[in-house]
Amino acid sequence: MDFANLIQTITLYAIPVVLSITIHEAAHAYMARQLGDNTAYLLGRVTLNPFKHIDPVGTILMPILLFIATSGSFLFGYAKPVPVRFGNLRNPKRDMVWVALAGPGSNFVQAWLWGIFYLLLIGAGVTEPFFLKMAQGGTFVNVVMFVFNLFPLPPLDGGRILMGLLPHRQAALVSRVEPYGFFIVMALVIAGVVSTLWLRPLMEVTFKLINVLLSPLAMLLH
């Protein structure tokens, strides 16, 4: 990949990626506060200030280096985790599910909003490729974040949702995986298991659902 294309791609995706990560983490913090835990709020994490959520290595350096090294075929990154003291929640087992679901849920909403933005651009007769591609990229990035974070293995949000839904004994067994979860997920991603068995099928379903939600506006604009 030549340098000019690299810069153009980074510029296109910079705003959608920063927004998707910032709102995802703020949503976790906000939901935790609403359900009784002020830990993240007191640390200033209920905010749309991206600098409170971005990890210099995990959010910026790692994705850029992986993008360059693999010519865009493999990307991975992470933000600063939102600290949640589940014992402070009013109903820890139930509320854990809502706190975990808030992040991916925010990404689904963002994907839908980027889709609305794209349709409004088309409806307004905008033909500038940069803005159209950014809107498409915003939808894509958020669908990826939505689906990937729902993978049912801690420390991903899907793992916490699973622990909240399982009976106590089974949830305790799943929680034992958490110290090794990041490395297991990375191994499954590199092996292509996550992409083949989880990301692609669920992304296809998610895109179809978003298209259904966008269809009234699409018909109105046409």
Encode pLDDT of 13-40 as tens digits.
889 989 999 999 999 999 999 999 999 9
Residue 110 exposed, middle or buried by CB count within 10 Å (0-12, 13-18, 19+): buried
Helix %, strand %, coil % for the chain, to 5?
A: 75, 0, 25
**pLDDT tens per residue across span 83-110:** 999 999 999 999 999 999 999 999 999 9
Give me the DSSP letters along 157-181.
HHHHHHHHHS-HHHHHHHHTTHHHH
Q: What percent of the chain shows pLDDT beyond 70? A: 94
Collect all residues with Cβ–Cβ distance below 8 Å to 179 and sequence separation of at least 6. Answer: none
pLDDT tens sequence across 163-206: 999 999 999 999 999 999 989 988 998 888 888 999 999 999 99
Distance CA 68, CA 2 (A): 10
What is the signed CA dihedral for 94, 98, 100, 103, rounded to 10 degrees?
180
- Residue 57's pLDDT is 81
pTM for the full predicted model: 0.92
- 25 annotated active-site: yes
Q: Are 135 and 57 in contact (CB under 8 A)?
A: no
Q: What is residue 122's predicted lDDT score, i.e. its pLDDT?
A: 95
Domain residue extents for the chain: 3-221
